[in-house]
Amino acid sequence: MGQVRPFAGAPAAGEPMVRIRGLTKSYHGKPVLQDIDLDVAAGSVMCIIGPSGSGKSTLLACINHLERIDGGRLWVGGELVGYREQGGKLHELPERQIARMRQRIGMVFQHFNLFPHMTALQNIMEAPVQVLRLPPEQARARAMQLLDRVGLAGKHGRHPAQLSGGEQQRVAIARALAMEPRLMLFDEPTSALDPELVGEVLAVMKDLARSGMTMVVVTHELAFAREVGDALTFMDGGRVVERGAPRAVLADPREARTREFLSRVL
Protein backbone atom coordinates (compact mmCIF):
# COMPACT_ATOMS: atom_id res chain seq x y z
CA MET A 1 0.00 0.00 0.00
CA GLY A 2 1.17 3.54 -0.68
CA GLN A 3 2.31 5.69 2.22
CA VAL A 4 0.11 8.69 2.93
CA ARG A 5 0.84 11.33 5.56
CA PRO A 6 -1.84 10.62 8.21
CA PHE A 7 -2.62 14.19 9.26
CA ALA A 8 -1.69 17.74 8.41
CA GLY A 9 -1.19 19.00 11.96
CA ALA A 10 -1.04 17.95 15.58
CA PRO A 11 -1.77 19.38 19.02
CA ALA A 12 0.97 20.63 21.32
CA ALA A 13 2.97 18.00 23.17
CA GLY A 14 0.86 16.41 25.88
CA GLU A 15 -2.41 17.88 24.55
CA PRO A 16 -5.20 15.49 23.56
CA MET A 17 -6.27 15.66 19.93
CA VAL A 18 -9.88 16.08 21.07
CA ARG A 19 -10.80 17.69 24.39
CA ILE A 20 -14.44 18.11 25.41
CA ARG A 21 -15.62 19.78 28.60
CA GLY A 22 -19.19 20.22 29.82
CA LEU A 23 -20.69 19.78 26.35
CA THR A 24 -24.47 20.14 26.12
CA LYS A 25 -26.83 20.02 23.17
CA SER A 26 -30.65 20.07 22.98
CA TYR A 27 -33.21 19.79 20.21
CA HIS A 28 -36.46 21.69 20.81
CA GLY A 29 -35.76 21.78 24.52
CA LYS A 30 -34.99 18.07 24.77
CA PRO A 31 -31.44 17.31 25.98
CA VAL A 32 -29.47 15.17 23.54
CA LEU A 33 -26.00 15.60 25.05
CA GLN A 34 -25.62 16.30 28.76
CA ASP A 35 -22.38 17.48 30.38
CA ILE A 36 -20.01 15.46 28.19
CA ASP A 37 -16.35 15.36 29.27
CA LEU A 38 -14.07 13.39 26.97
CA ASP A 39 -10.44 13.31 25.84
CA VAL A 40 -9.09 11.54 22.76
CA ALA A 41 -5.31 11.18 22.78
CA ALA A 42 -3.41 12.01 19.61
CA GLY A 43 -2.76 8.88 17.57
CA SER A 44 -5.37 6.84 19.45
CA VAL A 45 -8.66 5.17 18.49
CA MET A 46 -11.69 6.03 20.60
CA CYS A 47 -14.68 3.76 20.02
CA ILE A 48 -18.14 4.87 21.14
CA ILE A 49 -20.96 2.41 21.67
CA GLY A 50 -24.49 2.69 23.00
CA PRO A 51 -28.16 2.25 22.11
CA SER A 52 -29.86 4.12 19.32
CA GLY A 53 -30.71 7.67 20.36
CA SER A 54 -27.99 7.89 23.00
CA GLY A 55 -26.34 10.93 21.35
CA LYS A 56 -23.37 9.20 19.69
CA SER A 57 -23.88 10.63 16.20
CA THR A 58 -24.74 14.07 17.57
CA LEU A 59 -21.46 14.07 19.49
CA LEU A 60 -19.53 13.40 16.27
CA ALA A 61 -21.45 16.17 14.50
CA CYS A 62 -20.53 18.60 17.28
CA ILE A 63 -16.84 17.70 16.99
CA ASN A 64 -17.02 18.67 13.31
CA HIS A 65 -19.31 21.66 14.06
CA LEU A 66 -22.02 20.23 11.85
CA GLU A 67 -24.16 20.83 14.92
CA ARG A 68 -23.89 23.92 17.14
CA ILE A 69 -23.34 23.27 20.82
CA ASP A 70 -25.48 24.83 23.53
CA GLY A 71 -22.89 24.80 26.28
CA GLY A 72 -19.40 23.70 27.18
CA ARG A 73 -16.24 23.77 25.10
CA LEU A 74 -14.74 21.51 22.43
CA TRP A 75 -11.17 21.67 21.11
CA VAL A 76 -9.46 19.78 18.28
CA GLY A 77 -5.69 20.02 18.13
CA GLY A 78 -5.78 22.65 20.87
CA GLU A 79 -8.07 24.88 18.80
CA LEU A 80 -11.60 25.80 19.92
CA VAL A 81 -13.95 24.37 17.29
CA GLY A 82 -16.47 26.67 15.64
CA TYR A 83 -16.14 29.54 18.09
CA ARG A 84 -13.90 32.18 19.57
CA GLU A 85 -14.15 32.92 23.27
CA GLN A 86 -14.32 36.48 24.53
CA GLY A 87 -15.23 37.57 28.02
CA GLY A 88 -16.20 34.02 28.94
CA LYS A 89 -18.74 33.84 26.10
CA LEU A 90 -18.62 31.91 22.85
CA HIS A 91 -19.08 33.71 19.55
CA GLU A 92 -19.56 31.58 16.45
CA LEU A 93 -16.89 32.01 13.81
CA PRO A 94 -17.70 33.02 10.23
CA GLU A 95 -18.56 30.09 7.98
CA ARG A 96 -15.34 30.49 6.02
CA GLN A 97 -13.23 29.95 9.15
CA ILE A 98 -15.40 27.00 10.22
CA ALA A 99 -14.94 25.46 6.76
CA ARG A 100 -11.16 25.75 7.14
CA MET A 101 -11.37 23.93 10.49
CA ARG A 102 -13.46 21.15 8.92
CA GLN A 103 -10.76 20.57 6.31
CA ARG A 104 -8.62 19.12 9.09
CA ILE A 105 -11.37 16.76 10.30
CA GLY A 106 -12.38 13.90 8.02
CA MET A 107 -15.81 12.36 8.42
CA VAL A 108 -17.23 9.10 7.10
CA PHE A 109 -20.97 8.53 7.40
CA GLN A 110 -23.20 5.45 7.38
CA HIS A 111 -24.12 6.18 3.78
CA PHE A 112 -21.38 6.92 1.32
CA ASN A 113 -22.63 10.22 -0.16
CA LEU A 114 -20.48 9.85 -3.27
CA PHE A 115 -21.23 11.94 -6.34
CA PRO A 116 -23.01 9.42 -8.61
CA HIS A 117 -21.94 11.12 -11.86
CA MET A 118 -18.23 11.02 -10.93
CA THR A 119 -15.82 8.11 -11.01
CA ALA A 120 -14.11 6.90 -7.85
CA LEU A 121 -11.01 8.86 -8.86
CA GLN A 122 -13.00 12.04 -9.53
CA ASN A 123 -14.84 11.75 -6.20
CA ILE A 124 -11.51 11.71 -4.37
CA MET A 125 -9.95 14.49 -6.44
CA GLU A 126 -12.87 16.92 -6.19
CA ALA A 127 -12.28 18.51 -2.77
CA PRO A 128 -8.48 18.80 -3.03
CA VAL A 129 -8.86 20.58 -6.38
CA GLN A 130 -11.85 22.76 -5.51
CA VAL A 131 -11.12 23.48 -1.83
CA LEU A 132 -7.36 23.14 -1.41
CA ARG A 133 -6.67 24.44 -4.96
CA LEU A 134 -4.34 21.51 -5.54
CA PRO A 135 -3.15 21.19 -9.17
CA PRO A 136 -5.18 18.43 -10.87
CA GLU A 137 -2.08 16.34 -11.60
CA GLN A 138 -1.09 16.43 -7.93
CA ALA A 139 -4.65 15.66 -6.80
CA ARG A 140 -4.81 12.75 -9.22
CA ALA A 141 -1.53 11.30 -7.95
CA ARG A 142 -2.75 11.59 -4.34
CA ALA A 143 -6.11 10.01 -5.23
CA MET A 144 -4.47 7.07 -7.01
CA GLN A 145 -2.21 6.52 -4.00
CA LEU A 146 -5.22 6.51 -1.69
CA LEU A 147 -7.18 4.15 -3.93
CA ASP A 148 -4.22 1.79 -3.74
CA ARG A 149 -4.18 2.18 0.03
CA VAL A 150 -7.85 1.14 0.35
CA GLY A 151 -7.42 -1.75 -2.08
CA LEU A 152 -9.20 -0.21 -5.08
CA ALA A 153 -6.32 0.72 -7.39
CA GLY A 154 -7.91 -1.05 -10.36
CA LYS A 155 -11.32 0.56 -9.96
CA HIS A 156 -10.47 4.25 -10.28
CA GLY A 157 -12.60 4.64 -13.41
CA ARG A 158 -15.78 3.11 -12.01
CA HIS A 159 -18.83 5.08 -10.95
CA PRO A 160 -20.47 4.45 -7.56
CA ALA A 161 -23.27 2.39 -9.13
CA GLN A 162 -20.61 0.00 -10.45
CA LEU A 163 -19.12 -0.56 -6.99
CA SER A 164 -20.31 -2.67 -4.07
CA GLY A 165 -21.34 -1.00 -0.84
CA GLY A 166 -18.03 -1.92 0.76
CA GLU A 167 -16.11 -0.50 -2.19
CA GLN A 168 -18.14 2.72 -2.06
CA GLN A 169 -17.40 3.10 1.64
CA ARG A 170 -13.69 2.59 0.98
CA VAL A 171 -13.84 5.32 -1.69
CA ALA A 172 -15.55 7.55 0.91
CA ILE A 173 -12.69 6.89 3.35
CA ALA A 174 -10.12 7.68 0.65
CA ARG A 175 -12.02 10.87 -0.19
CA ALA A 176 -11.83 12.00 3.45
CA LEU A 177 -8.11 11.16 3.61
CA ALA A 178 -7.41 13.17 0.47
CA MET A 179 -7.79 16.35 2.55
CA GLU A 180 -4.98 15.12 4.85
CA PRO A 181 -7.02 15.45 8.06
CA ARG A 182 -5.51 15.32 11.53
CA LEU A 183 -8.60 13.54 12.88
CA MET A 184 -11.04 11.02 11.35
CA LEU A 185 -14.62 10.60 12.56
CA PHE A 186 -16.57 7.47 11.62
CA ASP A 187 -20.35 7.32 12.19
CA GLU A 188 -21.38 3.64 12.04
CA PRO A 189 -19.38 3.14 8.83
CA THR A 190 -20.41 -0.50 8.38
CA SER A 191 -24.07 -0.38 9.43
CA ALA A 192 -25.39 0.04 5.87
CA LEU A 193 -23.30 -2.84 4.49
CA ASP A 194 -24.11 -6.47 3.87
CA PRO A 195 -22.34 -8.63 6.49
CA GLU A 196 -19.84 -10.08 3.99
CA LEU A 197 -18.65 -6.57 3.04
CA VAL A 198 -18.01 -5.33 6.58
CA GLY A 199 -14.56 -6.91 6.88
CA GLU A 200 -13.05 -5.06 3.93
CA VAL A 201 -14.00 -1.67 5.42
CA LEU A 202 -12.79 -2.61 8.89
CA ALA A 203 -9.47 -3.74 7.38
CA VAL A 204 -8.92 -0.25 5.95
CA MET A 205 -9.79 1.30 9.32
CA LYS A 206 -7.32 -1.02 11.07
CA ASP A 207 -4.63 0.08 8.63
CA LEU A 208 -5.42 3.72 9.43
CA ALA A 209 -5.14 3.01 13.15
CA ARG A 210 -1.73 1.38 12.63
CA SER A 211 -0.57 4.46 10.70
CA GLY A 212 -1.18 6.69 13.74
CA MET A 213 -4.37 8.39 12.61
CA THR A 214 -6.46 9.72 15.49
CA MET A 215 -9.94 8.21 15.11
CA VAL A 216 -13.29 8.52 16.86
CA VAL A 217 -15.50 5.63 15.79
CA VAL A 218 -19.18 5.25 16.58
CA THR A 219 -19.73 1.54 16.01
CA HIS A 220 -21.64 -1.56 16.89
CA GLU A 221 -18.70 -3.75 15.83
CA LEU A 222 -17.57 -4.77 19.30
CA ALA A 223 -14.84 -7.07 18.02
CA PHE A 224 -13.29 -4.11 16.21
CA ALA A 225 -13.51 -2.00 19.37
CA ARG A 226 -11.86 -4.77 21.39
CA GLU A 227 -9.06 -5.37 18.87
CA VAL A 228 -8.30 -1.86 17.58
CA GLY A 229 -9.65 0.61 20.13
CA ASP A 230 -7.39 2.28 22.66
CA ALA A 231 -10.39 3.55 24.64
CA LEU A 232 -14.07 2.68 24.75
CA THR A 233 -16.93 4.99 25.74
CA PHE A 234 -20.45 3.76 26.46
CA MET A 235 -23.16 6.40 26.08
CA ASP A 236 -26.80 6.32 27.09
CA GLY A 237 -29.38 9.08 27.41
CA GLY A 238 -26.97 11.70 26.13
CA ARG A 239 -24.41 10.99 28.85
CA VAL A 240 -21.11 9.18 29.13
CA VAL A 241 -21.98 6.26 31.40
CA GLU A 242 -18.66 4.43 31.34
CA ARG A 243 -15.28 4.65 29.66
CA GLY A 244 -12.08 2.69 29.87
CA ALA A 245 -9.89 0.18 28.08
CA PRO A 246 -12.07 -1.71 25.56
CA ARG A 247 -11.22 -5.21 26.76
CA ALA A 248 -11.87 -4.27 30.38
CA VAL A 249 -15.19 -2.52 29.68
CA LEU A 250 -16.46 -5.33 27.43
CA ALA A 251 -15.35 -8.13 29.74
CA ASP A 252 -16.18 -6.59 33.12
CA PRO A 253 -18.19 -3.35 32.94
CA ARG A 254 -18.48 -1.41 36.18
CA GLU A 255 -21.87 0.19 35.54
CA ALA A 256 -25.17 -1.70 35.63
CA ARG A 257 -26.45 0.11 32.51
CA THR A 258 -23.36 -0.95 30.57
CA ARG A 259 -23.82 -4.55 31.71
CA GLU A 260 -27.47 -4.47 30.65
CA PHE A 261 -26.62 -3.10 27.20
CA LEU A 262 -23.78 -5.55 26.58
CA SER A 263 -25.93 -8.50 27.69
CA ARG A 264 -28.22 -7.71 24.77
CA VAL A 265 -25.60 -7.24 22.06
CA LEU A 266 -22.79 -9.68 22.93
pLDDT digits (tens, 9 = 90+) for 155-191: 999 999 999 999 999 999 999 999 999 999 999 999 9
Query: pLDDT grade, residue 10 (50/70/90)?
Result: low
Beta bridge partners of 89: 86
Residue 60 pLDDT exceeds 60: yes
Residue 18 pLDDT exceeds 90: yes
Residue 205's pLDDT is: 97
Residue 93's pLDDT is: 95
Question: What value does the mean pLDDT take over residues 51-58?
Answer: 96
Residue 143 pLDDT exceeds 50: yes
Burial track 103-133 (b if 16+ CB lie within 10 A, e otherwise): bbbbbbbbebebeeeebbbbbbbbbbbeeee
pLDDT above 70: percentage of residues in the chain? 95
Question: What value does the mean pLDDT take over residues 228-240?
Answer: 98
Question: What value does the mean pLDDT take over residues 221-243?
Answer: 97
CATH architecture of 16-263: 3-Layer(aba) Sandwich (3.40)
Residue 7's pLDDT is: 37
Question: What value does the mean pLDDT take over residues 220-245?
Answer: 97
Query: pLDDT grade, residue 14 (50/70/90)?
Result: confident
Q: Strand (E) positions, 69-201?
A: 71-76, 79-80, 83-86, 89-92, 105-108, 183-187
Residue 105 pLDDT exceeds 90: yes
Question: What value does the mean pLDDT take over residues 6-29?
Answer: 81
Domain ranges of the chain: 16-263
Residue 99 pLDDT exceeds 70: yes
pLDDT digits (tens, 9 = 90+) for 192-216: 999 999 999 999 999 999 999 999 9
Residue 266's pLDDT is: 84
